[in-house]
């Protein structure tokens, strides 16, 4: 089947490549000519496991092409996936729909009867209905459906090719038939297929994100209580997660969530509920957001306390810049928010990340970045672990202890082995967990850098 994918950002690039890999003919469209040229050469604009190989393969096959022309897209296909961004508005918590609206307005004059616009962008409930009315006036005989994405950065290709569920919001059997045909391989493989009205489909995405965000903020709130009570939040999380009604996933005390989805989506959901007169039903989302934001401040405050109440003249190493491992995305990254706050309050901050250094530098150029963990930690008074890349779990804490000035670790992601670090001479602090003091003297400084993570300074 022929289709276009309009918007070649994170969602669009992955969706276009995956649909082509399923055997469809796909035309990716974006106004960014430089990005289109890179994609046409088989180079992904983002770091995502398996995407570069998939993109190169589908471009070489001829099933995936790219263009900057919506008119070309309308002539090429009758099914058009809209994957443009819906950021938070600058003047409120509501979603900014200008890019979605612009696609529909620009595409409509070129559409043929029977064309189907399929939204994948995360939008406030009622958006599909509003766009349907708008489109009907401009191009009769066309439809709007909604097919939300449920991708996790770091596993987006896998999530697209082997999704846990497919949700389509449609207003006709024709639209449902088109989407069933597109996703036939997944449906035949047993993936649950939910066909519903557009409003329900729009709500499924924001409700899922809101539930997961609530679970994350809940366990972080419990970690704060554990800190006050001298209890262990990690054991608490494991114990309540063993309850089949609750489950263990997303019950991991830490720095909280970030990225381009959860923070702005829960705010937009609450704002839309207010518009609908149902604001009281989701008032808890404001507290979820507040708890999440407070985690960042608590980490800064903890670091200040460990350094005697002042950052002036202190060196701090930050491990992690991306908002999560497996991605180079730094949008609303808790790690970068904390790093920037430390620097602003007087510390000298060096940041390491395996993939996100270039993107981080564009957002916070005032920070110092390196691709070498030793250089990040050299003579550091404090080390903060802020993004739980698996590479950091491979660090030799005894070797790194000889690089720093003071072996003090804040494991804000609660994913390093505190006992091995403590045994290597580190004082270890983590959210909701009893402090582990150093249990061995740090070894002498090695003559060679820590090999596990040396990638050369940037």
At residue 448, the pLDDT reads: 34
Distance of CA 366 to the CA centre of its chain: 23
Please tell me if the domain spanning 2-196 has the same topology as the one spanning 299-453: yes
Contact 99, 86 (CB under 8 A): yes
Phi and psi torsions of 31, nearest 5°: -80, -15
CA dist 150 and 249 (Å) reads 16
DSSP state of 347: -
At residue 449, the pLDDT reads: 34
At residue 456, the pLDDT reads: 35
Instruction: Select from 416, 456, 452, 455 the least CA-distant residue to 436.
Output: 416
Residues 6+ apart with CB under 8 A from 330: 321, 322, 323, 336, 356, 359, 360, 363
Distance of CA 380 to the CA centre of its chain: 29
- Active site residues per annotation: 261
Contact 339, 318 (CB under 8 A): yes
Integer-rounded Cα radius of gyration of the chain = 24
Tokens (6 digits) for 321: 């810049």
At residue 435, the pLDDT reads: 79
| Domain assignments of the chain as residue spans, ordered by start | 2-196, 206-293, 299-453
Does CATH place domain 2-196 in 3.40.50.720? yes
Contact 6, 103 (CB under 8 A): yes
Strands 408-411 and 427-430, by their bridges, are parallel
User: Among all chains, which residue has been given the structure tokens 């089949």?
Assistant: 244
Chunk the chain into consecutive blocks of 10 residues (it has 458) and report each block's average pLDDT, rounded to whole numbers: 96 97 98 96 91 96 97 97 96 96 96 96 97 94 97 92 97 98 97 98 97 97 96 96 96 94 96 97 97 97 96 97 95 97 97 97 97 97 97 97 97 95 96 76 38 33
For the chain, how far is it from start to end, CA to CA, in angstroms? 45
Per-residue pLDDT of 333-347, as tens digits, reads 999 999 999 999 999
Q: How far is CA 242 from CA 245, 249, 253, 432, in A?
A: 9, 10, 16, 19
Fold exhibited by the domain 206-293: 1.10.1040
Instruction: Select from 163, 134, 139, 14 the least CA-distant residue to 74.
Output: 139
Per-residue pLDDT of 266-305, as tens digits, reads 999 999 999 999 999 999 999 999 999 999 999 999 999 9
User: Among all chains, which residue has been given the structure tokens 């999380």?
Assistant: 237
In the CATH scheme, what architecture does the domain 299-453 have?
3-Layer(aba) Sandwich (3.40)
318 pairs with which residues across the strands? Answer: 351, 384
Contact 84, 9 (CB under 8 A): yes
């Amino acid at each position: 089947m022929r289709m276009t994918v309009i918007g070649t950002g994170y969602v669009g690039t992955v969706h276009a490549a995956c649909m082509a890999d399923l055997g469809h003919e796909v035309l990716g469209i974006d106004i960014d000519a430089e990005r289109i040229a890179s994609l046409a050469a088989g180079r992904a604009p983002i770091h995502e496991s398996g995407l570069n190989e998939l993109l190169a393969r589908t471009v070489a096959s001829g099933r995936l092409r790219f263009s900057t022309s919506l008119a070309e897209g309308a002539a090429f296909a009758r099914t058009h996936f809209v994957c443009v961004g819906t950021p938070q508005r600058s003047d409120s918590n509501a979603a900014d729909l200008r890019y979605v609206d612009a696609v529909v307005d620009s595409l409509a004059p070129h559409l043929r009867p029977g064309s189907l616009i399929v939204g994948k962008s995360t939008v406030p409930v009622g958006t599909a209905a509003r766009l349907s009315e708008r489109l009907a006036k401009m191009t009769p005989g066309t439809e709007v459906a909604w097919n939300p994405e449920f991708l996790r950065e770091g596993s987006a290709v896998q999530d697209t090719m082997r999704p846990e569920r497919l949700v389509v919001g449609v207003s006709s059997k024709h639209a449902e038939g088109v989407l069933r045909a597109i996703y036939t391989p997944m449906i035949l493989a047993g993936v649950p297929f939910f066909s519903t009205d557009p409003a329900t489909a729009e709500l499924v995405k924001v409700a899922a994100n809101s539930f997961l965000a609530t679970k994350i903020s809940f366990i972080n709130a419990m970690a704060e209580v554990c800190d006050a009570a001298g209890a262990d939040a990690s054991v608490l999380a494991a114990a309540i997660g063993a309850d089949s009604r609750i489950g263990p996933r997303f019950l991991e005390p830490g720095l909280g969530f970030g990225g381009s989805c959860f923070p702005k989506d829960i705010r937009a959901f609450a704002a839309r509920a207010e518009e609908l007169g149902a604001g009281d039903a989701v008032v808890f989302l404001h507290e979820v957001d507040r708890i999440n934001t407070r985690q960042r401040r608590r980490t800064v405050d903890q670091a200040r306390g460990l350094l005697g109440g002042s950052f002036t003249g202190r060196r701090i190493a930050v491990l992690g810049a991306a908002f999560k491992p497996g991605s180079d995305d730094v949008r609303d990254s808790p790690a970068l928010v904390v790093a920037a706050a430390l620097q602003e309050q007087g510390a000298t901050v060096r940041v390491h990340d395996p993939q996100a250094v270039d993107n981080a530098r564009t957002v916070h150029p005032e920070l110092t970045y390196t691709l070498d963990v030793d250089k990040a930690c050299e003579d550091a008074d404090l080390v903060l672990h802020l993004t739980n890349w698996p590479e950091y779990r491979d660090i030799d804490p005894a070797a790194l202890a000889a690089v720093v000035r003071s072996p003090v670790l804040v494991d804000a992601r609660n994913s390093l082995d505190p006992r091995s670090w403590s045994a290597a001479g580190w004082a270890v602090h983590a959210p909701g967990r009893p402090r582990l003091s150093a249990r061995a003297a740090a070894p002498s400084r090695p003559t060679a850098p820590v090999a596990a993570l040396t990638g050369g300074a940037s």
